[in-house]
């Protein structure tokens, strides 16, 4: 039995059962049954007559009217500072606070005795007096709404807030055939008491793309250029998105050509394309498919041998078989683990004081997720191991926990073997309930809830009150350096353990942790920090006092999951449990959709919802049935991540060519073709290394991931990969946003590929493919890129510096500057020591070159060498023009290997190499 209903979610997303309504307002409309249901006309119709006596409702009419006029917008009284000493809640959803702001205080905005003298009436009618200019005219329907409300006593009962059951918007979809066509939207508010009202003039209307459709404040939609978008309608707590389409061609309906749709994904994609008049591209070639799927699943280039074999294979199921093969590789596991580390925030700088050992907690975090991805653990179980993490298992004492952890580090066991991943809760900027609520919603729900900290979310149903109740779920977990004193048994065990160690008891912080590490290596059991989870007790509403007498945040015994029904937290030992239960519910609107959408984006560069971390009602999916299908089937398949990858990659939609036709040339959101896209930073760096590596090394990239960038655990970058990963946009995991990873092309990337020393070294060093070819051909590689020549160049520069130094000593001595001469002599002595080390390194480098066996990398002709270079980099053979240009350059070079070096450099600098297509 579900513990939390989804009434509010269903209210917003449910498709209206009402029959199509006419666009103009009238006194009666056809309802969702056989009988006629009275619908109140628009407020404009009712309040235009001068003799209107109706009293408007503060919640239903007055506040929405002020929203229409912009009074509670960001630029006016809805700003954090307010305007003119008058402040309203942003977007007007805190009815109690707004009523107080209007009617209370020393200078209320209403005058009950003389309504026309009320500030909210006469100031907006005076262009000179009102900073925002004239908002409405005296005697207008807006004027009568406010005046009648004030005349009736300016009432609002905060204990009798009306409940909006749903907002019915018609038409439910707009399809235009040409530019500058118009269509009026109609919005009917259906309240919990059964009453219905045409609230079209009181809604907030926005468009998600004004290049496709524009909408005015009355709900009139005007078509613009061809394409598709949504217009968003907001009233009270409801947010409705209405699709707007203008086909790009006449190939719609019966005119649409026959298109293969072998999978459910293809059927749902083409269903949308048929409405848009967009015909998908043809299937991509085998070479392009193999390169694309290898990069997307495993972040790895196919080898020339693999490409030739795949192209020659006549098995009709070879693409599906290749997908299955790639999903079984360590490279897939590493790439998927990196994605989950991005989402959950595995950041070295945020992980402090996690362990007394000088080990990398980011590595432990990575290993924990890697282990589960490798075993294809269901995604909900991975999430549960993070969300419900605790250090001590049920019935385990603090000492037993410390003994287990001490043995783990002493014996070199893997942190991945632990049931829970506690590091998620140990981050430095993840300590306050507000921080946790925001980060949790981002990671596991794919939503940006942070704006609800201060005001109602502008494009969703969440209010500040919803946020405050949601954050209560994250008050029960605390990562502590030692047990809390209220846990007397654990605290006594900690004290006894500390007293048993041969360390200075006055040490604290890092000094104490260093001593713990020493004692651990001596075989002692040492105290470990732990994630403590405390339940909500009956007296939890009372504030506790710390030693300084300051009140700590109170813990309410009740909480709600973003607008759902209240949950009594006293029924749970772990207050995070109901959140995990809610996420697992079959019809949860976020959990499955969030990860499905993010995985989809790794294959198409854009999500079905884009940005991928903004699953709000005001940012609807480009193809809602597609997202619904994938999410539902993902849950039905027990959150199987490999099923999800397999389902996407096996679709014809994924395997379409990037070459456009006349109908899909500008399509980037309906998946009618492959859109060439930048590679993730880790993959870009790895394939540079792989394409230039020797034959044996290139073939090992799918299985040997120890040195691969896709296997870097946290955010701390060291070594040769640091700079390129930064400029190619590796995720910094610094904020709750998928935008921490950049996929944009930059000038620095171009400069790196053209001029960076490390790239030239990768192309031409002795262990590279070009180096193998050179040794096999018994010719020398470009000396500028060999280790030997690099050291020789350093020795040459140092000789020159020493000579200059000796001259300086003689000159300073002759001028009587003995102290300065002595300083230079000391630098000369240090330089001589450096020279000795360089000579040793040079001898070792030369010996290594002599010992390096000569690989047989023979080619019968330069053309074969060119073909191999293209297969290594672009995963295809060169066309005739490319072959002729390449051969011409190699023949004109000082030797074939130098020409091959240049060719590899040129191929690495093509757009075709650095993008996936």
CB 693 within 8 A of CB 857: no
Residue 746 to residue 67: CA distance in whole angstroms:
42
Q: Which residues pair with 228 in a beta bridge?
A: 245
In this predicted structure, what is the pLDDT of residue 565? 78
- 523 and 559 fall within a common domain: yes
| 487 lies in some domain | yes
- The answer as to whether 64 is a domain residue is yes
Number of domains in the chain: 4
According to DSSP, the residues that pair with 38 across neighbouring strands are 28
List, for residues 871-912, the tens digit of each pLDDT value.
Answer: 999 999 999 999 999 999 998 888 888 999 999 999 999 999
* 3-class secondary structure, 233: strand
Q: What share of the chain is helix, strand, coil (3-state, %, to 5)?
A: 45, 10, 45
Contacts of 784 (CB under 8 A, 6+ apart): 760, 764
Over 60: is that where the pLDDT of 59 sits? yes
- Please state, as a whole number, how many other Cβ atoms lie within 10 Å of the Cβ of residue 354: 20
Domain span at 504 = 346-535+552-584
Q: In terms of Cα–Cα distance, which of 120, 147, 132, 135 is closest to 47?
A: 147
Q: Which of 49-63, 68-82, 267-281, 704-718 has the highest mean pLDDT?
A: 267-281
- Given 127, 160, 193, the domain boundary residue is 160
Please write the tens of the pLDDT for every residue from 75-107: 676 556 666 667 666 666 777 877 887 888 777
Q: Are 563 and 641 within one domain?
A: no
Domain closes at, from 651, 677, 703: 677
Helix (H) or strand (E) holding 687: helix 681-692
Burial environment of residue 454 by CB neighbours within 10 A (0 to 12, 13 to 18, 19 or more): exposed
Query: Do 636 and 561 share a structural domain?
Result: no
What is the reported pLDDT for 138?
Answer: 84
Phi-psi region of 719 (alpha: psi -120 to 50; beta: other; left: phi over 0): left
Non-local CB neighbours of 36 within 8 Å, separated by 6+ positions: 28, 29, 30
The whole-angstrom distance between residue 206's C-alpha and the CA centroid of its chain comes to 25
Predicted confidence at residue 858, as pLDDT, reads 59
For 740-751, give one letter per residue: b (16+ CB within 10 A) or e. bbbeeeeeebee
Residues 661 and 556 occupy one common structural domain:
no
Both 370 and 498 in one domain: the answer is yes
Residues 6+ apart with CB under 8 A from 612: 446, 597, 598, 601, 738
559 in the same domain as 529 = yes
The pLDDT confidence band at residue 13, using thresholds 50, 70 and 90, is very low
Token digits for 538? 């009956």
Indicate whether 10 belongs to any domain. no
Mean pLDDT, to the nearest integer, of 227-240?
93
Rounded to the nearest 10°, the torsion over CA 377, 383, 387, 393 is -10
E-strand stretches of 544-644:
558-559, 567-568
Residue 231's DSSP bridge partners are 207, 242
Q: Which of 691, 696, 602 is closest to 913 using CA atoms?
A: 691
CB neighbour class for 258 (10 Å; exposed up to 12, middle 13-18, buried from 19):
exposed
**Angstrom distance (rounded) from CA 823 to CA 150:** 89
295, 401: one domain: no
Count of C-beta atoms within a 10 Å radius of residue 305: 12
Residue 638 lies in a domain: yes
Q: Are residues 512 and 462 in the same domain?
A: yes
Same-domain pairing of 471 and 482? yes
pTM for this prediction = 0.84
Domain end point (choices 677, 701, 726): 677
Rounded Cα distance, 655 and 658, in Å: 9
Where would I find the H helices in 701-854? 722-727, 747-755, 757-764, 769-776, 787-814, 818-851
- Asked if residue 265 belongs to a domain, the reply is no
Domain contains 366: yes
- Strand 530-533 and strand 213-215: pairing? unpaired
Average pLDDT, the chain: 85
Q: Is the pLDDT of residue 20 over 60?
A: no
More confidently predicted of 284 and 586: 284
Query: Is 692 among the domain residues?
Result: no
Q: Residue 593 and residue 600: Cα distance in Å, rounded?
A: 10
CB neighbours of 436 closer than 8 A, spacing ≥ 6? Answer: 430, 471, 474
Q: Report which of residues 804 and 361 the model is more confident about.
A: 361
Is residue 812 scored above 70 in pLDDT?
yes
- Looking at residues 402-426, what average pLDDT do you find? 90
Whether residue 611 is preceded by a cis peptide bond, meaning omega within 30 degrees of 0, is yes
Contact between residue 457 and residue 463 where contact means Cβ atoms under 8 Å apart? yes
Q: Are 249 and 662 in contact (CB under 8 A)?
A: yes
pLDDT surpassing 90 at residue 671: yes
DSSP reduced 3-state for 264: helix
- Phi, psi of 694, rounded to the nearest 5 degrees: -65, 165
Whether residues 320 and 387 share a domain: the answer is: no
- Percent of the chain whose pLDDT exceeds 90: 52
State how far the Cα of 665 lies from the Cα of 483, in Å rounded to an integer: 62
Do 465 and 385 sit in the same domain of this protein? yes
Residue 286 to residue 298: CA distance in whole angstroms: 17
What is the rounded average pLDDT of the residues 25-37? 43
Q: Which is higher by pLDDT, 497 or 823? A: 497
Closest CA to 125 of 106, 144, 108: 144
- Residue 503 in any domain: the answer is yes
Q: 259, 268, 96: which is closest to 648 by C-alpha?
A: 268
pLDDT tier for residue 120 given thresholds of 50, 70 and 90: confident
Provide the pLDDT confidence category of residue 7 given band limits of 50, 70 and 90: very low
Say if residue 520 is in the same domain as residue 649. Answer: no
User: In angstroms, rounded to a whole number, what is the distance separating the alpha carbons of residues 500 and 517?
Assistant: 15
Cα–Cα distances (Å) from 192 to 102, 163, 167, 362, in that order, read 27, 6, 11, 51
519 pLDDT above the threshold of 90: no
Torsion of CA 325, 331, 332, 333, to 10 degrees: 120
For the segment 537-588, what is each residue's pLDDT rounded down to a tens digit? 755 444 444 444 333 345 568 887 876 778 888 888 899 999 999 999 988 9
With cut-offs at 50, 70 and 90, classify the pLDDT of residue 701.
very high
Taking the CB of residue 659, how many other CB atoms lie within 10 A of it? 14
């Amino acid at each position: 039995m579900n513990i939390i209903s989804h009434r509010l979610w269903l209210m917003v997303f449910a498709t209206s059962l009402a029959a199509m309504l006419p666009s103009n307002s009238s006194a009666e409309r056809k309802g969702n049954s056989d009988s006629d249901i009275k619908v109140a006309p628009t407020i404009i119709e009712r309040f235009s007559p001068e003799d209107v006596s109706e009293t408007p409702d503060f919640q239903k009419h007055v506040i929405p009217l002020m929203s229409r006029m912009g009074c509670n917008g960001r630029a006016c009284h809805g700003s954090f500072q307010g305007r003119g000493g008058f402040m309203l809640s942003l977007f007007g959803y805190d009815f109690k606070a707004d009523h107080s702001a209007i009617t209370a205080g020393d200078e209320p905005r209403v005058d009950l005795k003389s309504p026309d003298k009320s500030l909210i009436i006469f100031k907006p009618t005076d262009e000179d007096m009102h900073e925002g200019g004239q908002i409405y005219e005296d005697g207008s329907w807006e004027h009568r709404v406010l005046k009648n409300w004030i005349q009736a006593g300016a009432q609002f009962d905060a204990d009798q807030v009306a409940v909006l059951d749903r907002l019915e918007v018609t038409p439910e979809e707009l399809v235009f055939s040409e530019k500058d066509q118009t269509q009026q939207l109609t919005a009917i508010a259906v309240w919990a008491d059964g009453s219905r009202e045409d609230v079209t003039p009181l809604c907030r209307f926005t468009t998600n793309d004004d290049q496709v459709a524009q909408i005015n404040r009355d709900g009139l939609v005007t078509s613009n250029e061809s394409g598709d978008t949504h217009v968003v309608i907001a009233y009270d707590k409801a947010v409705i998105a209405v699709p707007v389409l203008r086909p790009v061609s006449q190939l719609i309906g019966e005119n649409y050509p026959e298109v293969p749709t072998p999978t459910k994904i293809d059927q749902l994609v083409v269903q949308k394309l048929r409405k848009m008049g967009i015909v998908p591209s043809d299937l991509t070639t085998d070479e392009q498919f193999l390169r694309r799927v290898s990069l997307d699943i495993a972040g790895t280039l196919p080898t020339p041998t693999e490409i030739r074999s795949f192209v020659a294979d006549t098995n009709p199921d070879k693409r599906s078989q290749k997908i299955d093969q790639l999903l079984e590789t360590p490279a897939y596991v590493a790439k998927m683990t990196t994605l989950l580390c991005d989402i959950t925030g595995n950041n070295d700088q945020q992980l402090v004081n996690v362990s007394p050992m000088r080990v990398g907690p980011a590595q432990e975090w990575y290993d924990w997720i890697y282990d589960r991805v490798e075993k294809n653990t269901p995604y909900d179980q991975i999430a549960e191991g993070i969300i419900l993490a605790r250090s001590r298992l049920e019935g385990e004492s603090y000492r037993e926990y410390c003994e287990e952890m001490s043995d783990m580090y002493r014996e070199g066991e893997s942190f991945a073997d632990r049931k829970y991943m506690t590091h998620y809760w140990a981050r430095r900027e993840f300590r306050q309930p507000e921080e946790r609520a925001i980060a949790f919603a981002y990671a596991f729900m794919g939503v940006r809830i942070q704006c609800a900290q201060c005001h109602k979310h502008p494009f969703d149903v969440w209010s500040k009150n919803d946020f405050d109740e949601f954050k209560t779920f994250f008050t029960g977990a605390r990562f502590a350096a030692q047990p809390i004193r209220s846990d007397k048994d654990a605290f006594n065990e900690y004290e006894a353990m500390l007293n048993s160690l041969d360390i200075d008891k006055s040490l604290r912080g890092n000094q104490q942790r260093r001593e713990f590490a020493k004692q651990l290596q001596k075989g002692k059991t040492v105290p470990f920090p732990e994630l403590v989870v405390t339940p909500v007790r009956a007296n939890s509403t009372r504030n506790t006092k710390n030693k300084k007498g300051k009140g700590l945040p109170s813990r309410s015994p009740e909480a709600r999951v973003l607008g759902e029904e209240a949950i009594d937290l006293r029924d749970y030992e772990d207050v995070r449990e109901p959140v995990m239960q809610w996420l697992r519910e079959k019809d949860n609107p976020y959990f499955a959709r969030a990860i499905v959408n993010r995985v989809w984006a790794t294959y198409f560069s854009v999500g079905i919802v884009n940005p991928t971390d903004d699953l709000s009602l005001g940012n609807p999916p480009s193809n809602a049935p597609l997202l619904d299908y994938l999410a539902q089937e993902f849950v039905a398949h027990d959150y199987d991540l490999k099923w999800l990858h397999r389902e996407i990659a096996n679709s014809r939609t994924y395997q379409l060519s990037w070459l456009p036709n006349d109908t899909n040339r500008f399509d980037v959101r309906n998946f009618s073709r492959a859109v060439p896209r930048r590679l993730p930073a880790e993959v870009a760096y790895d394939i540079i290394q792989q394409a230039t590596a020797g034959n044996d090394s290139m073939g090992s990239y799918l299985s040997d991931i120890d040195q691969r960038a896709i296997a870097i655990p946290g955010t701390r970058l060291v070594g040769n990969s640091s700079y390129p990963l930064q400029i190619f946009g590796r995720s910094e995991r610094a904020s709750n946003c998928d935008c921490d990873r950049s996929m944009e092309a930059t000038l620095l990337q171009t400069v790196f590929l053209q001029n960076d020393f490390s790239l030239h070294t990768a192309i031409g060093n002795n262990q590279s493919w070009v180096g193998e070819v050179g040794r096999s051909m018994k010719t020398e590689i470009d000396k500028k890129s060999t280790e030997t020549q690099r050291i020789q160049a350093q020795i040459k520069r140092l000789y020159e510096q020493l000579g200059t130094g000796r001259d300086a000593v003689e000159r300073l001595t002759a001028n009587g500057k003995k102290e300065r001469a002595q300083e230079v002599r000391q630098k000369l002595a240090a330089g001589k020591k450096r020279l000795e080390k360089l000579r040793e390194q040079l001898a070792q480098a030369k010996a290594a070159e002599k010992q390096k066996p000569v690989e047989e990398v023979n080619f019968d002709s330069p053309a074969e060498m060119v073909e191999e270079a293209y297969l290594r980099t672009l995963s295809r053979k060169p066309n005739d023009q490319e072959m002729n240009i390449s051969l011409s350059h190699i023949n004109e070079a000082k030797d074939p290997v130098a020409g091959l070096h240049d060719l590899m450099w040129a191929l690495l600098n093509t757009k075709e190499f650095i993008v996936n297509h």
